[in-house]
Structure 1
Amino acid sequence: MPKPIARTPRRSNSAVHAYPDLKLLDRFADEQVIRRVLPNGLTLLIKPDSRAPIASVQVWVKTGSIHESTDLGAGLSHYLEHMLFKGTRAPRPRSARQISEQVQTHGGTINAYTTFDRTVYYIDLPGEHAPLALDILSGMVLRPSLDKTEAEKERDVILREIAMGEDDPDQRLAQALFSTAFRQHPYAHPIIGHRELFAAVTHERLLHYYRTRYVPANMVVIVAGDVVPGEIESLVAQHFGTAAPQPLAPVYVPAEPPQLAPRHWEEYADVELTRAGIAWAIPGLAHADTPALNLLALLLGGGDSSILWQSIREKKGLVHSIDTTSWNPGSNGLFYIAYTCDAAKREPAIAAILAELERVKRKPPSPAQLRKAIRQLVVGEINTRKTVSGQASRLGAAEVVVGDLAFSQSYFARLAALRPADIQQAAARYLVAQSSSTVSLNPKSARADEASAGLAAAPKRAQKSRAKSAVANAAPQPFQSLTLSNGARLLLRPDHSLPNVHLRLCGLGGGLYEPADRRGATSLLATLLTKDTQRNTAAQVAQRIEEVGGSFYPMSGNNAFGLALEVLPGDLPLAHQLLADAILRPAFLQSTLKQERAAQIAALQDDNDNPVSFGLRQLRRHFFGAHPLAIGPNGEEHALARITTHDLAELHARLTSPANLVFVATGDFEPRAMEKAARKLLGQIPDGSTAPAAPPFTGPSKAAAFKETQPQAQAVVFEAYPAPSIREDAFFVSEVMDELFSGMSSRLFERVREKLALAYYVRSSRVIGTDASMFYFYAGTEPGKEAAVLREIQAEIARVARGAVTSAELARCKTRLKAGHRMGLQTNSQRALQAALNTLYDRPADDTEDYAQRIDSVTRAELSAFAKKYLRPTQRLQLTLSP
């Protein structure tokens, strides 16, 4: 292990002077955290916080995939996480359904996750129901049923989860990185397990792992929020303290030997962009050099203003995105630079990255750069305390991962002691070729291009992993488009590269098709279509799709609604049946309506706590007036309260008219069989009329300014203008215009935030409709500075109207938009959604080339004309939301 370069942790007066943001953390130095160790070895942490009547109850089990010993790589920790939700034993037995129902009934949410070194179960709910959460979680971790039949069923679910995970290129690249960078350490193995090893796990081995690792001395119970500490201590003693103490056998975790030579991995697959990165071995979280490495990561790739983003992306245009991470949770870690780019730019990009690193090694960062990075870390530390869930998670990490609840204080003291030269030395010491691992996942077309250019072939390991059948290697075909005799449209795009199929049925919907006093009905309708049918209850529908590892969910927005299913190819009959039942035989039960309506109203109420969300709701009302876009897709509380099951049945009959529907299938399927199944479904849907009934919109009747108040610390300003609908050609100009005004590299942000310090955030956005749209700006500022921010927004609009947008600005906007569009079409679900919406909006289903051409055709003159036509003072509406 290299000797540390950081000095003795202390926060001197000079350090505070150099980094004044550190003083923001002083208020947390004496925060109350109660720590108790029960006689059986279990640790209890309590963090009272009465700012909101909410509590987070978490159980951290100090076992993860690196602790699986002789079963290393089998995914036992993740398997147990799934199984503990299947039910509990006496004295308080609960079924899986009872667990979820009781949590939901008491206004809570329950979930869990597994990492390399821990498994965490948590319930967030109103504080008065914390006793229930402790009761449920204690049963799950100390008295799980672990039924053999359920275990066999869950094995199939996880096997499907493993297979479906292969559909994510980022996940594939991440696993390649870990298996390349680590040869001895268990980090080399996926948390979920290798398919072959997991499939061989027996029920007896699962039970043995549970009995040896789920012992009280290996558990930490954390309760944060609006609770009474004494009551919590008593309840934890009652529910957890009665478990008998048990020995905890040590687990051998092999250390990773020093890396002596660079490593490389590359693969070619059915992807459209290259994903690549380079990583270096670094020490773990407790090492004295960690603060310097964390600061180095922020300086290099922590945001749009970072060194690599500005150099490699903005100036050289070699990547679409780039970021840096210093990942070091245990005894070993990785310093990782990740980027996406066009395949032909992969090698120039890595060369440019390495050149920038050499500059950092030769020249230390400036004090201003260090101050910025430390501020980012301070803000991140503050953000962990925003919610009780975040506070509980922070305590868990300190106790379980670091073993020191005061780690945060010592960590920031070490940060404050750093000099610019320390960052330079960290780069020189760790970012060296011999400890590097380079990985990339590239489009298949790039391999042919490299071969023709005489480049070296991919390593044998990568070639072996690409050995597939001719069918699997076949390039995805364009969408096959059919219009049935009843007007329904069918889009098919076979892609046999991965065992995954996505089905989506969409139609026009939203406010334009809802009664004026029933806004939000489309969202409720979409949700209820995934619930009860004449054949199955909502619980049965969920069980059937989840037991095969699939997903079934609704979608709704301003202009459209739909249903989506994702399964493995062998489960297509089930997917077709569930979709047919949802569309042809929905039940619309009053009990389900009541439950889902309450959830939709709760979401609206939650939005009201966010000043931007609240302000946008008010802005829409003022701007659109009687037009349906005045109300968001989730409607309004009073309108939702009126909606009946009869209303939903009537809306369903209108919106599911065949001529209004688009059926899309993407993934691994046989086209003729899919077409046959789709024709059967669409042919059974009764004909009807889906006509919008809404007044035309011509923009605000006059320029206006509104002021409202809300209990908050910041002020938020909005400025809105009419904009072209999604069906107009000028929509693509608005795409570029929105990009121009947004992001940390925009002129608006640079002046308002960086130069004048008038706002915390400032950007533009849109509310987009099929017949009308709104282009708006918003910014968060200090009370008293609202008018100054609005003047700067208007000045930026005037600059664009004068034609002062530079060629470089316009080129950057186009590059970002085109890359973002392409990156958004890499999975079957994304392709299906985009194709469906494009078809509904009378655009090409395959629109990648069309979109790129339309964006490329936008000129500076068109931006100027857009500003003069749409962003005029005579049709401007302002809203100021102040404390």
Structure 2
Amino acid sequence: MGLCHGILSHPSQGPELTHQTFGNGSRCVFAPMPDAGLTCLDFWCRAGSAFENKGEEGLAHFLEHMVFKGSRQLGAGDFDRRIEALGGSSNAATGFDDVHFHVLVPPEGACEALELLLDLVLEPALRADAYGMERDVVLEEIAQYRDQPDEQVVQHLLASSCANHPYGRPILGWEESLLASSPDTMAAFHQRRYRGTNCCLMVAGAIPKGLEQTISASRLASLATQPEGHPNGIDETLNFQRGRDTIQVERLEAARLLMAWPAAAADQQHQVMGIDLATTLLAEGRRSRLVERLREELQIVESIDMDLTTLEQGSLVMLEACCPAEHIEEVEAEVDRVLQECASTPVQAAEMERGRQLVGNGLRFSLEAPGSVAGIAGPQALWREPQDPLRPLQDLQNWTAAGLQSDVFGQLQASRAFTLVALPEEAS
């Protein structure tokens, strides 16, 4: 990843956020970007797969599909046609913790797009005739997912290391639960989760005149409140399981070494930034420790990656190395050696600076477009108090080499991981 020194030396300024909380607990956050030619309206809800009860597995993602099949006011396909007529586009995504629906439109169409978006998301029709057909689509999606060897290896790692926790099961869910579901069970899930305190609207980009007033008078501000004593968060804290397993996978093109570690939850921002910095030093770019040693010097891996997935009940660090099966033991030994080296000796100042630049500029570059700003600031505002999008850079700068060595690299050791070796079926 090539970085321009001029960009590194002159960090961009993130948009200044303003926010409003309505009487029902729902929130709206504005990120004005006057020079942007578009407006992003991003609706976030604490309704990811982790909130599914037993027997509801997959319902959060299925609901995302059903939302686009129409509302009480909109027929199937009407929403997409009207958003496209405004010159805009729309999309949605379901995660473990939350789900979001967003539109990107020219500012002059933002007020109309808002009404359409909130109608679609908050008043889904869940028509019985569309339910069975769309369930078949989701079931086919699950079948395709299970037919991808790489995806199944990662899912095996999650299921093993996050056993008995929602993070260990597929967001797509299980066929038997979906087949047993009905429009009524989905409506009950929607009514349970899509309530004021669980919802946040993120508005980024050009803010047209009148949009704030439209939001204040919208369905967002009149959503039902959460019943007293009803939990807003996820009840289960991630109980990570260390261990080891070896599996053989049909049609896997190369052997895989995968390792997973538990990490700080999303609200522990200082620790999260330290982990992000550590994984960058280990596996971001040709000069990173693991890439330089295993791919450039020894040439025993085809690729090696290490990423942090930030989650509300406990984040996850995952390493994946692809290599010929005959090199798998050597790869594991070298990974262990590099990790031990990082835990025993502080990284040099120049290496720390390189890591800070990579992490910092990744954040700065992400603040150039309304959609990416909404994707960063939206979940932050949903789960916590809104903050300056560049606030994590302060936590990044507070990390020292000694602190990284003791508090992060000391935890990213093979003895603390769940390790999975995945081999092509023929390599027995």
Distance 1:334-1:56 versus aligned 2 partners, 3 A rule? same
Name the residue aligned to 2:210: 231
Measure how far apart 1:124 and its partner are: 0.8
Which residue of the partner structure matches residue 406 of structure 2?
Answer: 425
Match of 2:46 in 1: 62
**1:293, 1:426 within 8 Å by CA — same for their partners in 2?**
no
C-alpha distance 71-233 of structure 1, shift in aligned 2 (>3 A): farther
Q: Following TM superposition, by how much is the alpha carbon of 1:318 offset from its aligned partner in structure 2, in angstroms?
A: 0.9
Report the AA paired with residue 56 of structure 1: C
1:293–1:21 CA distance, 2 compared to 1 (3 A):
farther
Alpha-carbon distance in 2 for matches of 1:57, 1:82:
19
For residues 438 and 296 of structure 1, what CA distance do their matches in structure 2 show? 19
One-letter code aligned to 2:41: V
Paired residue for 1:254?
Answer: 236
Given that 2:376 and 2:389 are in contact with CA atoms closer than 8 Å, whether structure 1 keeps it comes out as no
Provide the C-alpha distance between the structure 2 equivalents of 1:353 and 1:212, rounded to a whole number of angstroms.
45
Cα offset, 1:252, TM superposition: 5.1
Q: Is the 8 A contact 2:26 2:221 kept in 1?
A: no
1:162 corresponds, among 142, 148, 153, to 142
Q: Distance in 2 between matches of 1:400 and 1:266?
A: 39
Structure 1 counterpart SS, 2:403: helix
1:240 and 2:190 equivalent?
Answer: no
Kindly state the Cα deviation for residue 107 of structure 1 after the two structures are TM-superposed. Answer: 1.2
- Trace 1:795-874 onto structure 2 (pairs within 5 A): none
Equivalent of 1:345 in 327, 340, 343: 327
Report the residue type matching 2:373 in the other structure: Q
Quick check: 1:37–1:43 contact (8 Å CA) kept in 2?
A: yes
Listed one character per residue, the Cα deviations across residues 233-281 of structure 1 (whole Å, up to 9, x for unaligned) are 111123325634332531653223364x523242331222123311122
Alignment check: 8 A CA contact 1:184 1:254 kept: no
Cα distance, 1:27–1:156 mapped onto 2, change above 3 Å: closer
2:336 aligned residue (339, 354, 357): 354
Name the residue aligned to 2:91: 111
> What residue is the counterpart of 1:292 in the other structure?
274
Question: Partner letter of residue 264 of structure 2?
Answer: P
Cα RMSD after superposing both structures: 2.2
Unpaired runs of 5+ in structure 2?
Answer: none
Secondary structure in structure 2 of the residue aligned to 1:60? strand
* 1:564-643 mapped onto 2 (5 Å cutoff): none
Structure 1: which 5+ runs fail to align?
1-18, 448-883
1:314–1:252 distance in 2 versus 1, CA, 3 Å: closer
Query: Judging changes above 3 Å, is the alpha-carbon distance between structure 1 residues 407 and 169 closer, same or farther for their aligned structure 2 residues?
Result: farther
Counterparts in 2 of 1:229-628, with a 5 A limit?
231-241=210-220, 243-248=222-227, 249-250=230-231, 253-257=235-239, 259=241, 261-287=242-268, 288-401=270-383, 403-406=384-387, 408-447=389-428
Tell me which residue corresponds to 1:143.
123
CA distance in 2, matches of 1:428, 1:123: 40
SS at match of 1:358: helix
Report 1 or 2 for greater relative contact order, CA contacts < 8 Å, sequence distance ≥ 6: 2
* Contact kept in structure 1, 2:36 and 2:369, CA below 8 Å: no
Secondary structure of the 1:270 match is coil
Counterpart amino acid of 2:47? T
Q: Which moved more, 1:421-430 or 1:189-198?
A: 421-430
Q: Report what 2:66 is aligned to.
A: 83
> 1:781-800, aligned counterparts within 5 Å?
none
1:397 offset after TM fit, Å? 2.4
User: Which amino acid counterpart does residue 257 of structure 2 have in structure 1?
Assistant: A
Superposed CA offset, 1:735-778 (max 9, x none): xxxxxxxxxxxxxxxxxxxxxxxxxxxxxxxxxxxxxxxxxxxx
The correspondence for 1:127, drawn from 100, 107, 117, is 107
CA distance in 1, matches of 2:360, 2:117: 33
**Aligned position for 2:32:** 48
2:38 and 2:390 mapped to 1: Cα distance? 26
Is this contact kept in 2: 1:180–1:265, CA < 8 A? no
**Aligned match of 1:102:** 82
- 1:434–1:196: structure 2 CA closer, same or farther, 3 Å change rule? farther
- Aligned residues: percent identity? 25
Indicate conservation of the 8 Å contact 1:21/1:378, yes or no.
Answer: no
In 2, the alpha carbon distance for the partners of 1:316 and 1:107 equals 52
| Other structure's SS at 1:257 match | coil
| Structure 1 CA distance for aligned equivalents of residues 414 and 422 of structure 2 | 21
Structure 1 counterpart SS, 2:54:
helix
**Offset, 1:80:** 0.7
Pair 1:223–1:198, CA change in 2 (3 A): same
Matching residue's letter, 1:238: A
- What is the alpha-carbon distance in structure 1 between the residues aligned to residue 333 and residue 67 of structure 2? 48
Counterpart contact for 2:196–2:221, Cα < 8 Å: no
Name the residue aligned to 1:27: 13
2:77 is paired with a residue of what secondary structure?
helix
Q: How many Å separate the matches in 2 of 1:20 and 1:364?
A: 28
> In the aligned structure 1, how far is the partner of 2:42 from the partner of 2:395?
30
Give the deviation of 1:133 after TM superposition.
Answer: 1.3
- Distance in 1, matches of 2:107 and 2:226, equals 34
Task: Letter of the 2:94 partner, please give it.
Answer: T
Bigger Cα Rg: 1
Task: Tell me the matched-pair count.
Answer: 420
1:476-529 deviations in whole A, cap 9, x for unaligned? xxxxxxxxxxxxxxxxxxxxxxxxxxxxxxxxxxxxxxxxxxxxxxxxxxxxxx
Return the alpha-carbon distance in structure 1 between the equivalents of residues 373 and 106 of structure 2: 16
Higher alpha-carbon deviation: 177-186 or 57-66: 177-186
**Partner secondary structure for residue 96 of structure 1:** coil
Q: Is the 8 A contact 1:398 1:407 kept in 2?
A: no
Q: Would you say the 8 A contact 1:69–1:252 is kept in 2?
A: no
